[in-house]
Structure 1
Amino acid sequence: MNKYPPLVFIFLAICFFSCKSYGPVTAFQNNSPETIDFGNLAHWAAHPDKRDNADLIPGSDAKPAPNLAADVFFIHPTIYNGKGKNLRWNPSISDSILNKRVDNSTIKFQASAFNAAGRVFAPRYRQAHLVSYSTDDKDSAKKAFALAYSDVKNAFEHYLKYYNNGRPIIIASHSQGTAHGGPLIKEFFDGTPLQQQLVAAYLIGLPVPKNYFERLWPCEDPEGLNCTISWRTFKRGHVPDDRPLGDSILVTNPLSWKIDTTYVSKTKNKGSVFRNFDKVQPRRVDAQIHNGILWASKPRFPWSFLFRRKNYHIADINFYYMDIRLNAKQRVEKWLEARN
């Protein structure tokens, strides 16, 4: 038996957006029991064999370099948050409206941050509805997350069989994606031969215990390999009272790539990407680890005075976009150098 349960079960009671008044109202039913065919490119939000928003580079018409030596398997966050009657706990894999929302949000603004490091693979999956984090129907929520994970696992197995060919891998995820990314790494990498192919895991947006994995340790510097990275961003000075906190939680400073509490000024930030994807804005956001979370001072950007949230979860990647981009590339280069 695994010593630590899947991340989603640890944090099932957490609702990032304080919402529990909408979503599925009946018990979980798997209306789509079929196994998704990931040989169909339509079931990938990003894939090297198709043009997609993960290929975009902020402020540039350029495309990712060809013949990249590494791969990135990106698991996107919850985008399924609709209202209405008779909602499923998990959407159809062919929901064209939802798929377009995924492509124009997380794939464009998050997955693309990794396209300098490797070919980006991002599966579509039957994600659990956002209300699954806060519902009183915990049994249905667990089943919804389990169905979502089965799709992610199926996609990863397809990737390994047909595309990997011994290439180095980055696992990258955000929010619900991290709820699936943690168990995926536990199952396929942690203490297995595949662990040596893992460049690093960027498990962002959920609290990940430092000892969640048996043989994978936190990255402690910008060039660490076969290790894990994580953070959750909140406004400087704010300590949430409804989130796991403390030194047992892995927090990486995305400006220094260390896990100490040293403050790093926004002058070190290589570039954030806000609502205007075409404009990289350097030196806008600082970073400091505090009590199991990442503190960031409120950045200034057009209409930022309307941005009053203290939970910066939605911007975990956007705030540090260029730093992530450069660091992922740096780690791949270090992996290749170590094996040559």
Structure 2
Amino acid sequence: MARKFLYFVASMVILVLAGAFVFRLYGEELMEVAFVPDTEFTAQKVLETNVYDDPHMWLARPELVKGNPALWLPEGYSDTDPAVPDGKKAAVFFIHPTSFLARDRWNAPLDDKESQALARLYLRGQASAFNAVGDIWAPRYRQATLGAFLTEKPEGQQALDAAYQDVLAAFDYFVAKIPSDQPIILAGHSQGSLHLTNLLKDRVAGTPLANRVVAAYVVGWPVSVDTDVPEMGLDICAAPEQTRCMLSWESYAEPADYSRIVEVYNKTIGFNGEPRKDSKLLCTNPINGDIDSAAVASANLGTLVPNDDLSEASLVAGSVPARCDKRGFLLIGDPPEIGPYALPGNNYHVYDYSLFWSNIRADVQRRMTAFLAR
């Protein structure tokens, strides 16, 4: 299990559904039966003060070197240029996506071995993109189970709210622990990015902390330009060297059918209290590092592609283009030969990071350099 690469070790259902609310739309009744808990929600015990002082409460942390999944790199890979000037490092706070799939409870216990193993695999292919510029902190948290995204039951939202309280506790510890002048990078995917949107609203917006954020990578979760961004405390990253800003994208091959996603999205309320209906999604082009643009495949510096036994991955340059459409979804051309785990409608949610791994790595290095040069 430990040798398996990324999140390709699980079945298609596990892979493509973990951590995204939109998937309730595909076979809704079947998915509810298969994944939604049939138990009552039980409020979680509040974590003890300073529980995150324990290194075992982190999947990745600076002093954790042996077996740290966030330190993974593709076989034979090395950075050709210095990551940042003078060796100065950022502190990277990364929130992993859903890896708990059981239906016997609404939130994952911290001692659940299967979900923890999957979370470590996620970090290898996602958080690793940031390890050139800083020390990665990735907390363990009592995440909401997959079924919380597949139901209208109030217990689903209660589970998400409970998970968010753990993330807040971890973030507060993180901020208190790192040097008061150290630059910060925030990142997540899917359920992790959902929590990150709230964290930006609750802990960054309107505070001095916003001035320390190099960038926030809110990947694999919809962010409304009109109703969410103004409440999240950072500008949109409109240029590749811009700092103190946020990036977000959701990947689709073509022809893309995201009509069901839009249907659900249009029923939600934004952070400013206004309906998100018909509002544009924030769409960063991870190849260019700007918004609402197009890039040819030759500009893609490297996509992570697994080997046959899924134990490792190699970087393939120039394989996937990217362009933002008018609605705010990221289109990647014809379906790429990267693996079989795409959702209906050519939704490549699972591959949001791996499609652009090298460009994300270059993007964060570029922004960190610009931040230090201010």
Residue 250 of structure 1 aligns with which residue? 282
Distance of 2:156 and 2:305 partners within structure 1 = 32
2:237 corresponds in structure 1 to 219
- Is contact 1:69–1:118 with CA below 8 Å preserved after alignment? yes
Going from structure 1 to structure 2, the CA distance change for 1:16 and 1:336 (only over 3 Å counts) comes to farther
1:102-141 CA-to-partner distances (Å, cap 9, x unmatched) read 112x11110111111211110011110111112131x111
Whole-angstrom distance in 1 between the partners of 2:349 and 2:342: 13
* Cα distance in 1, alignment partners of residues 62 and 78 from structure 2: 16
Please say if residues 23 and 81 of structure 1, whose CA atoms lie closer than 8 Å, have aligned partners that are also in contact. Answer: no
Rounded to whole Å, the distance in 2 between the matches of 1:164 and 1:187 is 21
Q: Does 1:118 align with 2:118?
A: no
Map of 1:199 onto structure 2: 214
Alpha carbons 2:95, 2:192 under 8 Å: kept: yes
Cα deviation for residue 293 of structure 1 reads: 0.7
SS in 1 for 2:260: coil
Alignment partner, residue 94 of structure 1: 111
Give the number of equivalent residue pairs. Answer: 321
8 Å CA contact retained: 1:210, 1:217? no
- Residues 285 and 247 (structure 1), Cα distance of their counterparts in 2 relative to 1, 3 Å cut: farther
TM-score with structure 2 setting the length: 0.79
The residue type paired with residue 148 of structure 2 is S
User: Could you tell me which amino acid in structure 1 is paired with residue 318 of structure 2?
Assistant: R
Q: After superposing the two structures, state which structure 1 stretch, 191-200 or 32-41, moved more.
A: 32-41
Contact 2:107 2:142 in 1 (8 A): yes
Residues 230-273 of structure 1 show CA distances to partners (whole Å, capped at 9, x for unaligned) of 0001112213112237562101011112212x431111000011
Q: Which of 277, 299, 306 pairs up with 1:268?
A: 299
2-structure distance, mates of 1:306, 1:216: 33
- Residue 54 of structure 2 is aligned to residue 40 of structure 1: yes
Matched, 1:20 2:60: no
Question: Which of 265, 282, 288 is the aligned partner of 2:323?
Answer: 288
Contact 2:300–2:318 (CA under 8 A) maintained in structure 1:
yes
Q: Name the SS for the 2:259 alignment partner.
A: coil
Give secondary structure in 2 for the equivalent of 1:323.
Answer: helix
Contact kept, 8 Å, 1:78 with 1:177, in 2: the verdict is yes
Change (3 A) 1:307 1:145: closer
Contact 2:20–2:190 (CA<8 Å) still a contact in 1? no
CA–CA separation in structure 2 for the residues paired with 1:169 and 1:199:
6
Aligned with 1:202: secondary structure? strand
Identity of aligned residues (%): 31
Instruction: Output the amino acid matched with 1:321.
Output: W
Matching of residue 337 in structure 1 with residue 363 in structure 2 = no
Aligned equivalents of 1:189, 1:34: Cα separation in 2: 22
Distance of aligned partners of 1:17 and 1:101 in 2 relative to their CA distance in 1, 3 Å threshold: farther
Q: Distance in 1 between matches of 2:172 and 2:38?
A: 33
Residues 342 and 348 in structure 2, CA contact (< 8 A), matched pair in contact too: no
Question: Does 182-191 or 314-323 show the bigger shift?
Answer: 182-191
| Aligned residues of 1:27 and 1:140 also touching (Cα < 8 A) | yes
3-state SS, counterpart of residue 255 of structure 1: coil
The match for 2:314 is: 279
CA distance in 1, matches of 2:21, 2:126: 25
1:305 deviation in Å?
Answer: 7.3
How far the C-alpha of 1:162 sits from its partner, in A, is 1.3
**1:253 touches 1:259 (CA, 8 Å); kept in 2?**
yes
Mapped partners of 1:124, 1:17: distance in 2: 29
The letter for the 1-side match of 2:197 is G
Question: Matched residues in 2 for 1:199 and 1:229: separation?
Answer: 11
Superposed displacement of residue 12, structure 1: 8.9
CA distance in 2, matches of 1:111, 1:88: 27
Unpaired runs of at least 5, structure 2: 1-18, 266-277
CA distance in 2, matches of 1:195, 1:308: 35
Runs of 5+ unmatched residues, structure 1: 1-10
The equivalent position to 1:324 in structure 2, one of 356, 360, 364, is 360
CA contact (8 A) 1:247 1:292 kept: no
Match of 1:240 in 2: 258
Which stretch of the first structure deviates more once superposed, 268-277 or 109-118?
Answer: 268-277
Q: 1:77 aligns with which of 94, 97, 100?
A: 97
Contact 1:68 1:119 in 2 (8 A): no
**Which secondary structure does the structure 1 equivalent of 2:23 belong to?**
coil
Give me the whole-angstrom Cα distance separating, in 1, the residues matched to 2:280 and 2:200: 19
Which of 210, 213, 220 is the aligned partner of 2:225? 210
Looking at structure 1, the residues matched to 328 and 202 of structure 2 have their Cα atoms a distance apart, in angstroms, of: 25
Contact 2:58–2:140 at 8 Å: present in 1 too?
Answer: yes
In 1, distance between residues paired with 2:373 and 2:205? Answer: 23
Q: Runs of at least 4 residues of structure 1 off by over 4 A?
A: 61-68, 304-309
Q: 1:112 & 1:128 partners in 2: Cα distance?
A: 24
Contact 2:25 2:260 in 1 (8 A): no
Alignment correspondent of 2:14: none
Q: What root-mean-square deviation, in Å, do the aligned CA atoms of Structure 1 and Structure 2 show?
A: 2.5
Give the Cα–Cα distance (whole angstroms) in 1 for the partners of residues 353 and 98 of structure 2: 14
* CA distance in 2 between partners of 1:120 and 1:67 (Å): 15
